[in-house]
Amino acid sequence: MNTLKVFITGGSGYIGRATIEVLRRQGHEVAALARSDESARTVSELGATPVRGSLTDTDVLREAASQADGVIHLGQNQSEDTGDIDRAAAAAMQDGVGSGPYVHTGGAWIYGNTDGVVGEDAPFAPPQITAWRIENEKRVLARAESGGHPVVVMPGIVYGRAGGVPQLLLVNQGRANGVVPCIGDGDNRWALVHVEDLAELYVLALGAPAGSVYAGAGGQNVAFKDIANAASSAAGCAGNVHHLTLDEARGMLGLLADALVLDQQFSGERARRELGWRPTHQDALTVLAQG
């Protein structure tokens, strides 16, 4: 891949920091949206140029994208209007970057229970918390029909570097309460991906064909109960796992609980075959147990 000017949203976040590191390591020039002084400092320290603004500043997004060869959209505005804000932001950045690659973040949860190992063409059956993504991603991909270059990456559950859902919901709860929660019997599988492997996929996606969709999951499909047990080791309460009913979990986590009990398995084969993606982290339970 030639050296590119890349505009990224969510650059100061968990996945964004790792993605900027990959971009800079490969020699790309990076501009990153920063909505606060702290975010600006974070992306600057990683070697990116901060662009002050938020995901609701569509004029800022359009202009920054117009100055770039490609865009990676990782940011998300957590509010009641999440879907609307994401849709408007995506449209602005696609307008700005024109025929340059625009890599959009979706989410593997929209596939619901996968009934075995699947790829990107599996049917959608999203839980309520993520159902809004389907229409947004459809609009993003439709730009391929009018000269745009959209690519969608759908991450599984991200872990590593002491972050992601396993850390925030399991390890941290274990440290605070001396017990790690698990919903139901925990036999359902989570499609895990290490944050560093996912960052590599986002950068590779800048070179993907227009209209491509990739599941950001590297073949690590691990039972929830095993993840919870590993998290208990990291939390210093090894073996102390409390199994909640789904109703109990909904009372604690709201709509997120229904996503966490999905049974999902992805191969990641399309990204391996088409982009040469080679996830190197394949021992999630060891990483999680170490915290």
172-198: average pLDDT: 97
- 195-224: pLDDT as tens digits: 999 999 999 999 999 999 999 998 899 999
Return the structure tokens found at 155: 């991450």
- Alpha carbon 247 to chain centroid distance? 27
Same structural domain, 100 and 163: no
Same structural domain, 211 and 286: no
pLDDT at 80: 81
Tell me the CA distances in angstroms from 211 to 122, 125, 150, 152, 175, one per residue in order: 16, 21, 5, 8, 43
Q: Which domain holds residue 241?
A: 159-190+221-265+281-290
CATH code assigned at 70? 3.40.50.720
Same structural domain, 171 and 74: no
Please report which confidence band the pLDDT of residue 135 belongs to, taking 50, 70 and 90 as the band edges: very high
- 265-282: pLDDT as tens digits: 999 999 999 999 999 999
Under 8 Å between Cβ of 287 and 194 = yes
CATH code assigned at 185? 3.90.25
* Global pTM exceeds 0.95: yes
- Alpha carbon 101 to chain centroid distance? 18
Q: Rounded to whole angstroms, how far apart are CA atoms 210 and 255?
A: 33
**Domains: count for the chain:** 2
Under 8 Å between Cβ of 54 and 84 = no
Same structural domain, 133 and 150: yes
